[in-house]
Amino acid sequence: MIKFPIYLDYHSTTPVDTRVVEAMMPYFTKVFGNASSKSHEFGWKAEAAVENARKQIAGLINAESPDIIFTSGATESVNLAIKGIADAYAPKGNHIITTKIEHEAVLDSCKSLEKKGFDVTYLEVDEFGLIDLKELENSINEKTILVSVMYANNEIGTIQKISEIGALCKRRKVLFHTDATQAVGKLPVDVIESNIDLMSFSSHKIYGPKGVGALYLKSKFPKIRLTPRVDGGSQERGFRAGTLNVAGIVGLGKACAVAREEMGTETTRIKELRDRLYNGIISGLPEVKLNGDPGNRIANNLNITIKNVNSDSLLIAIKEIAISTGSACSSESVETSHVLKAIGLDDKHKHSSLRFGLGRFTTAEEIEYVIDKVVEKAKKLRDISPLFRVTKEGEYAGF
């Protein structure tokens, strides 16, 4: 039996897995000590829990546990990485390279640095959302201190060639940061193999609690310098002061442990549901375009343009289904998606695009319902649209 509303917005956030909740519970009421308290058992147990979570997280991404720095989430991790590197390496250079389809956390951090005199190059992407590696290499100069490229895009799901980018940065002796918020826990991420120097990610995207995230910060070969963004204590190797969110950190650790164990089977199941959703929609509706790379994308992502159907009108018509038109962090903005613009969609098509995000608790029954409703309501909206009609030959004609 289907439970309404149907949630298909797993890119924006995920429900906390009950196994994660169970792991966290003791740290609210029983093991409630401050992990920085070194003089008694309450603090020792809290510290032990934090270090165990650090190991669980490191195990998921093939890192050393001391290289995991806890933060409040991916946005803080991104700010710490980009601004921290900029401040620490300013004597060496003032040039940063990123892309036009990054999350706002990256783009706004770079814009903030531009106001302070830094030079930022924003790489173009192709129609699938991929950067050109030759353009990246040609953009690197003697003043380049950092390259920041998103691992998997939060709107269209495209996965960048991270290992090749990491190898290029290593060869050119430039630090490499990736926002892996949509990749960690969904893809087999290996920071060593991919030559990643800094990596940001968040708990609530992988069935953990909100309010906690991490920054992977490579500590050797080479040891990376970073200027802290928060002062007031020596926690997290001095990079992030403040009392640690022990319960949240335990939740993030458990979420990573579950992901490490179940990622393979979970990805296969979600991909099958995602493909069923797409095939069901295109079999019932003409003039539907897939946005992003057809093959090189995360399994839970489906971003489509249903031509001559206003996406906001469709969302109202299917209000029992929770989906979005783009990033949750920009959904309150009247501006259309910068990601869809970067891959070449014009304003009409951007206003006809939807993002479906599937997840751990998505069922086949829900997908069948969504297919039927999207097709039904989109057809009705087209019937009243002056821009969409059937030709004498029986074919659909739209913009």
Per-residue pLDDT of 169-207, as tens digits, reads 999 999 999 999 999 999 999 999 999 999 999 999 999
Q: Would you place residue 3 in the very low, low, confident or very high pLDDT band (cuts 50, 70, 90)?
A: very high
The DSSP-derived string for 336-363 is PPHHHHHTT--HHHHTTEEEEE--TT--
> Is 329 part of the annotated catalytic residue set?
yes
CATH architecture observed for domain 18-258: 3-Layer(aba) Sandwich (3.40)
Look at residues 236, 220, 244, 239 and name the one whose alpha carbon lies nearest to residue 228. 239
What pLDDT is stored for residue 394 in this prediction? 47
pLDDT at 398: 55
pLDDT at 12 over 60: yes
The H-assigned helical ranges of 141-245 are: 162-171
What's the mean pLDDT in 327-340?
69
Percent of the chain at pLDDT > 90 equals: 91
| Distance in angstroms (rounded) separating the CA atoms of residues 179 and 12 | 15
Average pLDDT over residues 84-104: 98
Higher pLDDT, 207 or 392: 207
Which residue, among 218, 213, 209, 256, has the nearest Cα to 237 in the 3D structure?
A: 218
| SS3 (DSSP) at 295 | coil
- Residue 209 and residue 252 in contact, taking contact as beta carbons nearer than 8 Å: yes
pLDDT value, residue 223: 87
- % pLDDT > 70, the chain: 94
Structure tokens at 77: 């991790």
What's the whole-number mean pLDDT along residues 97-113? 98
pLDDT band at 393 (very low <50, low <70, confident <90, very high): low
**Taking residues 35-61, what's their average pLDDT?**
97
Catalytic entry in 110, 169, 256, 329: 329
Residues in the chain: 399
Residue 327, pLDDT score: 57
276 and 356 Cβ atoms separated by less than 8 Å: no
Sign of CA dihedral 42, 46, 47, 48: positive
Tokens of 346: 């014009």
In this predicted structure, which of 52-61, 110-119, 250-259, 383-392 has the lowest mean pLDDT?
383-392
Lowest mean pLDDT of 49-53, 77-81, 234-238, 279-283, name the range. 234-238
What average pLDDT does the segment 275-296 reach?
Answer: 97
As a whole number, the mean pLDDT across the chain is 95
Average pLDDT over residues 224-250: 95
DSSP string for residues in 109-165: HHHHHHTTT-EEEEE---TTSPPPHHHHHHH--TTEEEEE--SB-TTT-BBP-HHHH
Instruction: Give the pLDDT band (50/70/90) at residue 399.
Output: very low
Query: Is the confidence at residue 304, as pLDDT, over 50?
Result: yes
Question: For tokens 């990736």, what's the residue?
Answer: 178
CATH 3.40.640.10 domain locations along the chain: 18-258
Would you say residue 168 has pLDDT above 50?
yes
Q: Name which of 186, 163, 187 is nearest 176 in CA terms.
A: 163
Asked whether 93 and 142 are in contact (CB, 8 A), the reply is yes
pTM here? 0.95
- Of the two residues 332 and 40, the one the predictor is more confident about is 40
Q: Beta-strand (E) ranges in the chain?
A: 6-7, 68-71, 95-99, 119-123, 144-148, 175-179, 198-202, 213-217, 288-290, 301-306, 321-322, 353-357, 389-390, 396-397
pLDDT at 334 (0 to 100): 52
Q: What is the pLDDT of residue 333?
A: 54
CATH 3.90.1150.10 placement within the chain: 6-12+262-397
Look at residue 392 and tell me whether its pLDDT is greater than 80: no
Exposed e or buried b per residue across 78-98, where buried means at least 16 C-beta atoms within 10 angstroms of its C-beta: bbbbbbbbbebbeeebbbbbb
> Domain 6-12+262-397 - what CATH class?
alpha beta
Q: Mean pLDDT across the stretch 337-364?
A: 96
Determine contact, residues 190/211, Cβ cutoff 8 Å. no
**DSSP tag of 283:** H
Cβ atoms of 237 and 215 closer than 8 Å:
no
Q: For residue 331, is pLDDT > 80?
A: no
Provide mean pLDDT across the span 40-67: 98
Average pLDDT over residues 26-33: 97
* Helices 246-284 & 41-61 angle (0-180, nearest 10): 30
